[in-house]
């Protein structure tokens, strides 16, 4: 399995399994297909599916990487601590591989979101120092949210998770995280299916003899971004994993990077959700 090394030396798989609305049965399938990184969140309500799938398949806890997130309503020092202890209970383990702040602000009205982020981060740093978390992350943080953390942190973030797929590749944020040595992960790397019928994606799928989904995931991989696709059948899980095995040439990468905006989810940390 191809891997990525984070700025604190932790090595993780180059692709993970996304668990938002995943069916419990998909996890055992994903383990059978070789997935070893699971992206869940307290908000998803399914952290408990992981120990169940490990038990079912006989894969050991230490062979997998588990990432979870602190939800908006649990931010702050005490909230983060309580959220993390519930997460460990659900996961039936005594450590998490990655813990992230899910969104940089709980609501748009909160003016002092910077202080709240820092308090949450301080709790995560304490847990990291105690060896209860192996890497720290930020989810849906744009560069200016992250600057706040970087200017005050004891432990620098290892991971940043963003919506990322052809048509919404957030070039400025990607370049920023590259410069800072923070690994970007792609949420909705398939644009939840919204981008798969695009003309360019279809053309490249034909050219490289792959599927439209593989073009999207291959695009992430070649940008150095870790995709976290969610899928519900062994065929799709296998197909998605195979994105690590082909290469898109430079010219086509540039075409994908510069295609017109497409398939945005409508979620943005500084806007009311747009219903598309
Ligand atoms: N940090 C955040 O705020 C945030 C937000 C959203 C998502 N995420 C994370 O990112 C993960 C992935 O994002 P997502 O679930 O929103 O969307 P996604 O992975 O882009 O798309 C999932 C959808 O694509 C389908 N699919 C899977 N493989 C396919 C293939 N090869 N060809 C065609 N369709 C395929 C799936 O169907 P089936 O399941 O029916 O196979 C599902 O409907 C989430 O599960 C979650 O872990 C994080």
pLDDT at 275: 86
Q: Model confidence over 138-147: pLDDT tens digits?
A: 999 999 999 9
Active site annotation includes 44 = yes
DSSP assignment letter at 174? H
Q: What is the pLDDT of residue 127?
A: 98
| pLDDT above 90 for 199 | yes
N-to-C CA span, the chain:
37
Per-residue pLDDT for 149 more than 90? yes
For ligand 1, whether the C-beta of 192 sits within 6 Å is yes
208-264 confidence digits (pLDDT tens): 999 999 999 999 999 999 999 999 999 999 999 999 999 999 999 999 999 999 999
Of the candidates 20, 100, 107, 95, which has an alpha carbon nearest to the alpha carbon of residue 62? 95
Best of 33, 39, 190 to mutate for ligand 1, by most ligand atoms within 8 A of CB?
Answer: 190
CA atoms within 13 A on the CB side of 73: 3
Cβ neighbours, 10 Å, residue 245: 11
Structural domains of the chain ordered from first start? 3-257 (3.20.20.100)
For ligand 1, atom 43, which residue shows the shortest CA distance? 192
pLDDT digits (tens, 9 = 90+) for 102-139: 999 999 999 999 999 999 999 999 999 999 999 999 99
> 3-class SS at 187?
strand
Residue nearest to atom 19 of ligand 1 (CA): 229
Task: Give Cα 117 distance to the centre of its chain.
Answer: 19
Could you count the other beta carbons within 10 Å of the beta carbon of residue 268?
13
What is the reported pLDDT for 143? Answer: 98
Mean pLDDT score of the chain, rounded to an integer? 98
Task: State whether the beta carbon of 185 lies less than 6 angstroms from ligand 1.
Answer: no
Question: Among 17, 18, 65, which residue has the most ligand 1 atoms within 8 Å of its CB, making it the best to mutate?
Answer: 18
Which single residue is written with the structure tokens 């931010």? 75
Instruction: Indicate if ligand 1 lies below 6 Å from the C-beta of 231.
Output: yes
Tell me the whole-structure pTM to 2 decimals: 0.98
pLDDT tens digits for 78-101?
A: 999 999 999 999 999 999 999 999
Q: Mention every residue, 6+ apart, whose C-beta is less than 8 A from residue 104.
A: 113, 117, 138, 140, 141, 142, 145, 269
DSSP conformation class of 6: -
Write out the two tokens for 185. Answer: 């992960």
Q: How confident is the model at residue 1 (pLDDT cuts 50, 70, 90)?
A: confident
């Amino acid at each position: 399995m191809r891997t990525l090394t984070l700025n604190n030396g932790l090595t993780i798989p180059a692709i993970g399994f996304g668990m938002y609305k995943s069916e419990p049965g998909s996890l055992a399938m994903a383990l059978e297909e070789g997935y070893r990184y699971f992206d869940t969140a307290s908000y998803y309500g399914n952290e408990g599916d992981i120990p169940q799938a490990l038990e079912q398949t006989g894969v050991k806890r230490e062979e997998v990487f588990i990432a979870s997130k602190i939800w908006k309503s649990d931010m702050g020092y005490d909230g983060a601590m309580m959220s993390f202890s519930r997460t460990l209970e659900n996961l039936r383990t005594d450590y998490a591989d990655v813990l992230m702040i899910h969104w940089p602000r709980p609501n748009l009205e909160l003016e002092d979101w910077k202080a709240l982020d820092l308090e949450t981060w301080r709790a995560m740093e304490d847990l990291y120092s105690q060896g209860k978390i192996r890497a720290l992350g930020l989810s849906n943080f744009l560069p200016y949210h992250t600057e706040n953390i970087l200017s005050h942190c004891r432990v620098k973030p290892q991971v940043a998770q963003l919506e990322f797929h052809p048509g919404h590749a957030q070039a400025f944020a990607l370049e920023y995280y590259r410069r800072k040595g923070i690994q970007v992960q792609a949420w909705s790397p398939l644009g939840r299916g919204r981008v798969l019928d695009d003309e360019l994606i279809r053309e490249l799928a034909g050219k490289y003899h792959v599927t439209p989904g593989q073009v999207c995931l291959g695009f992430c991989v070649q940008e150095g971004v870790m995709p976290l696709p969610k899928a519900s059948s062994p065929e799709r899980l296998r197909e998605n994993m195979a994105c690590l095995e082909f290469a898109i040439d430079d010219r086509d990468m540039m075409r994908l990077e510069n295609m017109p905006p497409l398939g945005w989810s409508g979620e943005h940390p500084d806007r009311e959700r747009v219903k598309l």
